[in-house]
């Protein structure tokens, strides 16, 4: 009986003697050895009581065993629920209460602090070296397993949104959702069995787990599987790679190191960036240093990837390219599609779009239209050539004195000011204007910024109502683990700035 995702990504590994994973110490795991690990993990899941349709929650460190748990969950017909390793016990409690998994895996060091919140599920442990109670179960289990039958519409994973505007929502992703995206990206980005992907992303997020791993698995390539982005290790392993996927901070950190030069990147086929906006300046600086134009794309938890700059053709800085093959994208305002150049809300439809929010039918109805169009919550515009630019989140739109102000427009001008490395623009409550534009500035290394002087540089560049009414200097912007600026945190920190 078929199991679409398992059959496409994991079953072929059983006959593969070549390497699949290259670890930081240089050791390798073949496809066949990893397939046996998957089978052992699947048998251990079944022994723990996991049945088809059950949820398996995992808050564990990145490791080959952790990746095998994902594959084994697919094999058993269960639903994988990866959790950010930074979540605290109260945050984990919400996910466990909402998703009601039959099994929860955590790191041994956290077991005592999580025991109470996991009281209604089976708790087992797994560490980065394969140790822990589940690690022992895995090691003792048989190395063969017959996968459970599943259909394209069956759930494969639930990924929770970041929850910056309320309780996190569990996006339900099907076998067809994940497989369609892997197939499309593998073709669009020209991945082949010869590719070696430098993988330094976390695997609790769609970028590292589904975009990176699924694409490589679909095409028979291999991965340099690093626990995280550590510059010395990345520079040491980069000569063995042909491709890299990362968040913008990966690329800025590479540019900060003089050892990263044209020669070190000469053998690379492609650098791909996502999960947060890539500054146009970073794009240009990377090309100047290496000769490579970073390929930027756009996706989200509910849809995986939606758009991409072309592999062949112009990779336009500041844009996220075109809709993927098979994905429709429209930019809407007041119920109608806007003209090129106009800003509106981005909606997408296609085989990549999720099945809805777990146990939240009202939220699903609000954001997923009956005809399949998903309201992303992102604001964007499309230029005359069809390239899509993300302007920001709808919730980040600033409405000051009745005027709509898109933060990215202000940020782009701020980032061009002398001494400014990057900026974040937010709206804060204001007694006269309702909201006022407020800027948070980060200086370049060795530079000292005067907020008033920076803002003065905007006088002839932006309409008065768009100009920030105040600014502060921070050594760096608050970001989540995927590099996205946490504007909700900034709004909370400075919410009383304009109080009368």
Q: Write down the mean pLDDT value for the chain.
A: 94
Identify the sign of the CA torsion 438, 442, 443, 448: positive
pTM (predicted TM-score): 0.87
List pLDDT tens digits, range 159-187: 998 654 457 899 999 999 999 999 999 99
Task: Please report the pLDDT score of residue 481 as a whole number.
Answer: 77
66 confidence band (pLDDT: 50, 70, 90) = very high
**Residue 154 scores a pLDDT above 70:** yes
Task: Please report the pLDDT score of residue 30 as a whole number.
Answer: 98
392 confidence band (pLDDT: 50, 70, 90) = confident
Round to whole Å and give the CA distance between 470 and 147.
59
Task: Please report the pLDDT score of residue 162 as a whole number.
Answer: 65
Highest averaged pLDDT of the listed ranges 216-220, 401-405, 454-458, 482-486: 216-220
Task: Please report the pLDDT score of residue 417 as a whole number.
Answer: 94
Mean pLDDT of 431-442: 89
Q: Which fold has domain 188-393?
A: Rossmann fold (3.40.50)
Least Cα distance to 55 among 38, 70, 67, 40 occurs for 70
What DSSP string runs through 149-184?
Answer: P--TTSEEEEEE---TTSS--EEEEEHHHHHHHHHH
Domain boundaries, the chain: 4-151, 188-393, 397-494
**Range with lowest mean pLDDT among 68-82, 140-154, 162-176:** 162-176
H, E, C per residue of 252-286: HHHHCCCCCCHHHHCCCCEEEECCCCCCHHHHHHH
Please state which architecture CATH assigns to domain 397-494.
Answer: 2-Layer Sandwich (3.30)
- Neighbouring C-beta atoms of residue 467, cutoff 10 Å: 18
**Do 188-393 and 4-151 fall under one CATH topology?**
yes
Task: Please report the pLDDT score of residue 345 as a whole number.
Answer: 95
Residues 6+ apart with CB under 8 A from 53: 77, 78, 79, 154, 155
Task: Please report the pLDDT score of residue 165 as a whole number.
Answer: 43
Round to whole Å and give the CA distance between 54 and 445.
50
Round to whole Å and give the CA distance between 85 and 59.
5
List pLDDT tens digits, range 110-121: 999 999 999 999
**Residue 488 scores a pLDDT above 90:** no
**Residue 76 scores a pLDDT above 50:** yes
4-151 to CATH, choices 2.40.110.10, 3.40.50.150, 3.40.50.11540, 3.40.50.12780: 3.40.50.12780
**Residue 83 scores a pLDDT above 70:** yes
Task: Please report the pLDDT score of residue 304 as a whole number.
Answer: 94
């Amino acid at each position: 009986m078929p199991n679409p995702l398992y059959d496409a990504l994991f079953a072929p590994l059983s006959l593969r003697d070549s390497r699949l994973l290259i670890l930081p110490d240089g050791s390798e795991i073949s496809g066949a050895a990893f397939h046996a690990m998957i089978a052992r993990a699947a048998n251990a899941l079944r022994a723990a009581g996991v049945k088809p349709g059950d949820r398996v929650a995992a808050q564990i460190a990145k490791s080959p065993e952790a990746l095998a748990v994902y594959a084994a969950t697919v094999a058993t017909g269960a639903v994988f629920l990866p959790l950010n390793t930074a979540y605290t016990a109260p945050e984990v409690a919400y996910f466990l209460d909402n998703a009601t998994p039959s099994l929860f895996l955590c790191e041994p060091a956290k077991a005592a602090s999580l025991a109470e919140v996991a009281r209604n599920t089976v708790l087992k442990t797994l560490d980065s070296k394969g140790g822990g109670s589940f690690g022992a179960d895995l090691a003792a289990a048989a190395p063969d397993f017959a996968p459970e039958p599943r259909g394209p519409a069956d759930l494969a994973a639930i990924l929770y949104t970041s929850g910056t505007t309320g309780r996190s929502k569990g996006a339900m992703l099907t076998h067809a959702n994940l497989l369609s995206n892997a197939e499309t990206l593998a073709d669009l980005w020209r991945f082949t069995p010869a590719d070696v992907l430098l993988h330094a992303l976390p695997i609790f997020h769609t970028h590292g787990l589904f975009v990176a791993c699924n694409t490589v698995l679909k095409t028979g390539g291999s991965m340099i599987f690093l626990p995280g982005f550590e510059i010395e290790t990345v520079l040491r392993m980069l000569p063995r790679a042909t491709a890299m996927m990362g968040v913008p901070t990966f690329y800025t950190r590479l540019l900060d190191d003089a050892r990263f030069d044209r020669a070190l990147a000469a053998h690379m086929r492609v650098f791909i960036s996502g999960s947060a906006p890539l500054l146009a300046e970073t794009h240009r600086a990377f090309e100047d240093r290496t000769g490579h134009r970073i390929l930027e794309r756009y996706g989200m938890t509910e849809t995986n990837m939606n758009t991409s700059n072309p592999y062949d053709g112009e990779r336009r800085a500041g844009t996220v390219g075109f809709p993927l093959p098979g994905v429709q994208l429209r930019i809407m305002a007041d119920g109608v599609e806007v003209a090129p150049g106009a800003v509106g809300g981005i909606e997408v439809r296609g085989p990549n779009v999720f099945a809805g929010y777990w146990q939240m039918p009202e939220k699903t109805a609000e954001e997923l239209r009956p005809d399949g169009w998903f309201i992303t919550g992102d604001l964007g515009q499309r230029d005359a050539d069809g390239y899509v630019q993300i302007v920001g989140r709808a919730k980040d739109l600033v409405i000051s004195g009745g005027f709509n102000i898109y933060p990215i427009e202000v940020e782009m001008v701020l980032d061009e000011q002398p001494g400014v490395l990057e900026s974040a623009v937010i709206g804060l409550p204001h007694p006269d204007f309702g909201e006022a534009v407020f800027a948070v500035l980060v200086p370049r290394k060795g530079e000292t910024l005067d907020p008033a002087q920076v803002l003065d540089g905007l006088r002839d560049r932006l309409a008065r109502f768009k100009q920030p009414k105040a600014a502060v200097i921070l050594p760096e912007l608050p970001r989540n683990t995927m590099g996205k600026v946490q504007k909700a945190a900034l709004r909370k920190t400075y919410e009383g700035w304009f109080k009368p």
